[in-house]
Amino acid sequence: MPKLEPYILFTVADTTYGVLSDHIQQMEMIEQITRVPNVPAFVDGIVYLRGKVLPVVNLRVRFGLERIPYDLHARLIVVQMGERLVGMIRRGSSSVWTVSRSNPRRPLCRRQATALWRE
């Protein structure tokens, strides 16, 4: 039986991306981002979240797209990258899909993925 892994899917400019759920620490509404000088254009600044200071990456800008203002649908996805935590800005909804390592292009249906995610 192939190993199934849950991914969090989200959309940036009509393209869907996925992050292995084991790497996601949390998702938060965006409150206050503090601007920092001399950082790459795709770094919107830093946030203080649960006792940690995290850089915030604007995925639209990182992918070479136009910067758009945050709205009520914008969320901060906190991702663990090795020893580092990074916040990524995404807009719109996200979903959970369970994907087989042997066939990553063919996820299970959403209901199966959600049920597996809750176990």
One digit per residue, the tens of pLDDT, for the chain of length 119 reads 667 888 888 888 878 888 888 888 888 888 889 999 999 999 999 999 888 899 999 988 998 889 888 888 888 899 987 888 899 888 766 778 777 766 555 444 444 333 333 32
- Lookup: tokens for 8: 């969090």
CA separation for the pair 26, 76 (Å, rounded) = 8
Domains of the chain, CATH where assigned? 4-118 (2.40.50.180)
Return the CA Rg of the chain: 15
Is the pTM higher than 0.85?
A: no
**Beta pairing partners, 11:** 16
